[in-house]
């Protein structure tokens, strides 16, 4: 009880805005402890902190202080998330991340919304969606048009997201919310009422929809249970399946008199209904669902569409009456029933006569295509809403924000690299990413390097600290190599400086590739898939360099693609290891032979057996392709890309320290693996097998294996074979 009270009191003292200034979790904990100590001291002097009868009183103990410091982050989690959600308009993603949220991302990142009322291509709405919610709350009816032919499970995720957000906002305004679902026939309204009253459970409701496809109930169940638990009224607005089947086979005339009166719109002014049926039969989705174009198939299918729209319109009208003048009605139905809004021929046009203008909003969920609206054409909907599971391949970000970033930097699109121009054209480059590139251009050296080397630019955009990590790896490599060389050669170090330089340069080059190849990158290149070369480049370009890299905008990497990333990375490092090993051995042997010919006095008294070039290269390349590839994939992908850059984004120093420790440990572990592998394949002799030449000539052990002091991987030192 003491811990709970101290945590809640401290939560009221520490305002969420203060959290943005505490970037380190350590200092946040210190801040919590100080607040808790002041609260405990205050409560120890205040009688209001005592329990009933004064029998309980706070004592400023270490246990209470420690408990408060542990409980407060959990207490303030919702406050930090609320601070991010209620951030002012125009707040960038970088600024929002400063708001403390314990790893929770902003809700705006969960899905994408597009304004479909504009001319041309729909405009992506940025993370600030205030005007979207303002328009929805100003409406009396909100339509959520979902997929019909092939139901999409992601639609249900969006429906729950929208209903939850509308319910929370309407609850603050004391507005009732009603959810009408087409999937439930209107005859099941009584059972829905029992479900809402909790007089029946989900099993009873599921038993009445046995005609649903497998898995559909599980998709609807979270939405239904949320509405029941949060006071959102459920209404069944669909036409009975038997009525629709009768109309599709026999037409409206096949219905009984009672069903025709209930489910069919009244005929006014002679052929009004026939003309409406003819209009519906010309709809593309009606033709696609019919067997014979312009035959009895589409004509009767259009009649079934009219019956369904009329039935839903009656239920929605009743819901508007029941909810009063301020209630909000959300309708979940097929997208074809609500396209073109009140000016179309679907459900909104039947509700329009009883509602003022601009009080109906149509949202299409996860549409397959984005219609490019021309002047004079009706918009398909007010908004297009995509779930986070849908990969965005075009028009993913607000182009107006991108234009503002370009204007503020005084740059033109034509002056950017071609791959970035292609990414901006497709709309897959965010304003934050564009700003990161423009920040790189402020440094003359980096600007020149990123302009000339596209691979470096792609890696810096994915990881701004890529050069820091490369410097860490190279410093480990060079330092450990020189130390090992000195310990190995002792007094001959300066006399054999040429061998030292050879090993160090070789190790640095190979080490560069072990950092370069598995590093995450952001690529926006467009390949010509029509040619064989372009198709191969496009296939290889679709595979990430790091199997653990977060999916970029416009990409969707499934487990098989990530597995290919590991395989392809292993092939690359295998090639690097084989070529470098063959080249190093060949050059070293040629150089040594040349020295012996030029100076016969340097010929050794004891000639050691040289390691076979191709055997050594094959073993070394296999070691790089398997062990080093997997280890560096994990270090670059998991440790740095996820932990250091994502979870420790607010503390760069901690991320750099973690990267240094991980790479040092990785180098040491790799050294042990290479020692065992070299001895297994006979590339390194054991102590008992060696003969020490008693001479002052340069050491011939460099001739035995190319990596007796270093395996050329991230500073991994191969100890002296005598040890």
Mean pLDDT of 686-694: 42
Is residue 286's pLDDT more than 70? no
Residue 89 lies in a domain: no
Q: Are residues 415 and 521 in the same domain?
A: no
Residue 252, domain CATH: 3.40.50.11550
Give the pLDDT confidence score for residue 507 in this predicted structure: 79
Mean pLDDT of 276-290: 49
Give the pLDDT confidence score for residue 277 in this predicted structure: 52
Nearest to 674 by CA among 709, 702, 699, 703: 709
Give the pLDDT confidence score for residue 76 in this predicted structure: 34
Q: Are residues 132 and 200 in the same domain?
A: yes
pLDDT grade for 276, boundaries at 50, 70 and 90: low
Q: Are residues 437 and 502 in the same domain?
A: no
What's the domain count of the chain?
3
Model confidence pLDDT, tens digit, residues 119-168:
888 888 876 788 899 999 999 999 999 998 888 889 999 999 999 999 99
CB atoms within 10 A of CB 448: 11
Q: Tell me the DSSP string of 623-670.
A: HIIIIIHHHHHHIIIIIIIIIIIIITTT-HHHHHHHHHHHHHHHHHHH
Question: How many angstroms separate the CA atoms of 636 and 462, rounded?
Answer: 12
Q: Are residues 422 and 338 in the same domain?
A: no
Q: Are residues 441 and 477 in the same domain?
A: no
Q: Are residues 533 and 429 in the same domain?
A: no
Nearest to 400 by CA among 372, 364, 424, 376: 424
Give the pLDDT confidence score for residue 504 in this predicted structure: 80
Phi, psi (5° rounding) for residue 78? Answer: -65, -35
Q: Are residues 355 and 404 in the same domain?
A: no
Give the pLDDT confidence score for residue 168 in this predicted structure: 94
Q: Are residues 332 and 412 in the same domain?
A: no
Dihedral angle at the C-alpha atoms of 239, 244, 247, 249, nearest 10 degrees? Answer: 180
Mean pLDDT of 387-415: 83
Least confident interval from 45-54, 234-243, 545-554: 45-54
Among 357, 386, 415, give the residue marking a domain's end.
Answer: 386
Question: How many angstroms separate the CA atoms of 359 and 135, rounded?
Answer: 9
pLDDT grade for 49, boundaries at 50, 70 and 90: very low
Q: Are residues 524 and 425 in the same domain?
A: no
Helix H or strand E encompassing 360: strand 360-365
- Parallel, antiparallel or unpaired: strands 328-334 and 141-146: parallel
Structural domain including 664 reads: 465-681
Averaged pLDDT score across all residues of the chain: 75
Give the pLDDT confidence score for residue 60 in this predicted structure: 40
Residue 700 lies in a domain: no
Residue 490 lies in a domain: yes
Residue 408 lies in a domain: yes
The answer to whether 602 and 691 are in contact (CB under 8 A) is: no
Residue 638 lies in a domain: yes
- How would you list the strands of the sheet with 383-387, edge to edge? 123-125, 111-115, 383-387, 360-365, 141-146, 328-334, 177-185, 233-238
Residue 544 lies in a domain: yes
Q: Are residues 519 and 632 in the same domain?
A: yes
Higher pLDDT, 658 or 427: 658
Residue 3 lies in a domain: no
pLDDT grade for 682, boundaries at 50, 70 and 90: confident
> What are the residues facing 145 on neighbouring strands?
333, 364
> What are the residues facing 28 on neighbouring strands?
none
Among 339, 365, 386, give the residue marking a domain's end.
Answer: 386
pLDDT grade for 74, boundaries at 50, 70 and 90: very low
Give the pLDDT confidence score for residue 703 in this predicted structure: 37
Give the pLDDT confidence score for residue 527 in this predicted structure: 53
**pTM exceeding 0.95:** no
Give the pLDDT confidence score for residue 61 in this predicted structure: 42
Q: Are residues 413 and 533 in the same domain?
A: no
Residue 224 lies in a domain: yes
Question: How many angstroms separate the CA atoms of 522 and 552, rounded?
Answer: 7
Q: Are residues 442 and 478 in the same domain?
A: no
Is residue 185's pLDDT more than 60? yes
Mean pLDDT of 583-610: 69
């Amino acid at each position: 009880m003491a811990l709970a009270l101290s945590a809640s009191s401290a939560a009221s003292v520490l305002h969420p805005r203060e959290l943005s200034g505490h970037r380190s979790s350590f200092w946040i904990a210190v801040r919590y402890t100080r607040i808790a100590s002041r609260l405990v001291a205050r409560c120890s002097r205040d009688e209001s902190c005592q329990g009933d009868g004064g029998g309980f009183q706070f004592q400023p103990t270490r246990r209470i202080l420690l408990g408060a410091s542990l409980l407060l982050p959990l207490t303030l989690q919702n406050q930090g998330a609320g601070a991010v959600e209620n951030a002012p308009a125009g707040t960038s993603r970088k600024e929002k991340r400063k708001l403390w949220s314990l790893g929770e991302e902003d809700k705006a990142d969960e899905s994408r919304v597009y304004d479909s009322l504009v001319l041309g291509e729909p405009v992506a709405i940025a993370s600030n969606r205030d005007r979207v919610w303002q328009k929805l709350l100003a409406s009396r009816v909100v339509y959520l048009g979902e997929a019909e032919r092939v139901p999409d499970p992601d639609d249900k995720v969006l429906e729950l997201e929208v209903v939850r957000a509308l319910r929370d906002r309407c609850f603050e305004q004391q507005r009732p919310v009603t959810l009408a679902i087409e999937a439930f026939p209107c005859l099941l309204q009584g059972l829905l009422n029992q479900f809402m009253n909790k007089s029946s459970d989900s099993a009873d409701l599921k038993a009445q929809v046995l005609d649903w496809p497998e898995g559909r109930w599980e998709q609807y169940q979270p939405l239904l249970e949320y509405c029941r638990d949060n006071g959102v009224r459920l209404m069944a607005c669909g036409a009975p399946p038997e009525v629709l089947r009768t109309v599709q086979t026999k037409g409206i005339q096949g219905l009984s008199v009672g069903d025709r009166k209930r489910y069919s719109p009244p005929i006014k002014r002679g052929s009004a209904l026939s003309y409406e049926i003819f209009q519906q039969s010309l709809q593309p989705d009606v033709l696609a669902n019919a067997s014979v174009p312009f035959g009895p198939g589409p004509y009767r299918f259009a009649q079934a569409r009219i019956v369904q729209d009329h039935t839903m319109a009656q239920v929605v009208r009743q819901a508007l009456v029941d909810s009063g003048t301020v209630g909000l009605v959300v309708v979940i139905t097929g997208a074809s029933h609500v396209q073109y809004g009140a000016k179309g021929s679907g459900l909104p046009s039947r509700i329009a006569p009883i509602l003022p203008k601009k009080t109906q909003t149509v949202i299409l969920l996860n549409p397959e295509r984005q219609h490019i609206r021309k002047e004079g054409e009706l918009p398909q909907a007010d908004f297009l809403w995509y779930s986070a599971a849908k990969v965005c391949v075009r028009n993913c970000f607000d182009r107006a924000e991108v234009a503002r970033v370009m204007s503020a930097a005084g740059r033109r699109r034509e002056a950017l690299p071609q791959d970035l121009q292609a990414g901006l054209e497709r709309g897959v480059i965010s304003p934050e990413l564009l700003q990161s590139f423009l920040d790189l251009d402020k440094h003359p050296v980096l600007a020149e390097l990123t302009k000339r080397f596209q691979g470096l630019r792609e890696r810096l955009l994915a990881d701004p600290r890529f050069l820091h990590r490369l410097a860490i790896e190279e410093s480990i490599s060079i330092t450990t190599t020189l130390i090992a060389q000195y310990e190995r050669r002792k007094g001959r170090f300066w006399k054999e400086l040429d061998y030292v330089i050879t090993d160090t340069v070789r190790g640095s080059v190979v080490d560069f590739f072990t950092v370069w190849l598995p590093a995450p990158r952001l690529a926006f290149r467009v390949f010509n898939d029509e040619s064989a070369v372009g198709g191969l480049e496009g296939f290889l370009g679709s595979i990430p360099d790091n199997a653990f890299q977060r999916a970029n905008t416009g990409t969707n990497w499934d487990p098989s693609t990530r597995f290919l990333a590991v395989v392809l990375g292993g092939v690359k490092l295998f090639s690097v290891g084989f070529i470098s090993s063959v080249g190093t051995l060949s050059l070293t042997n040629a150089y040594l032979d040349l020295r012996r010919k030029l100076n016969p006095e340097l010929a050794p008294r004891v000639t050691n057996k040289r390691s076979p070039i191709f055997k050594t290269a094959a073993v070394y390349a296999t070691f790089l392709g398997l062990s080093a590839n997997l280890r560096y994939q994990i270090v670059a992908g998991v440790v740095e890309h996820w932990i250091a850059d994502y979870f420790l984004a607010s503390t760069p120093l901690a991320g750099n320290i973690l990267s240094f420790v991980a790479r040092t440990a990785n180098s040491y572990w790799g050294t042990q693996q290479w020692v065992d592998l070299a001895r297994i394949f006979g590339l390194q002799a054991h102590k008992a097998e060696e003969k020490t030449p008693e001479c002052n000539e340069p050491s011939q052990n460099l001739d035995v294996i190319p990596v007796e002091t270093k395996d050329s991987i991230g500073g991994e030192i191969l100890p002296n074979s005598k040890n």
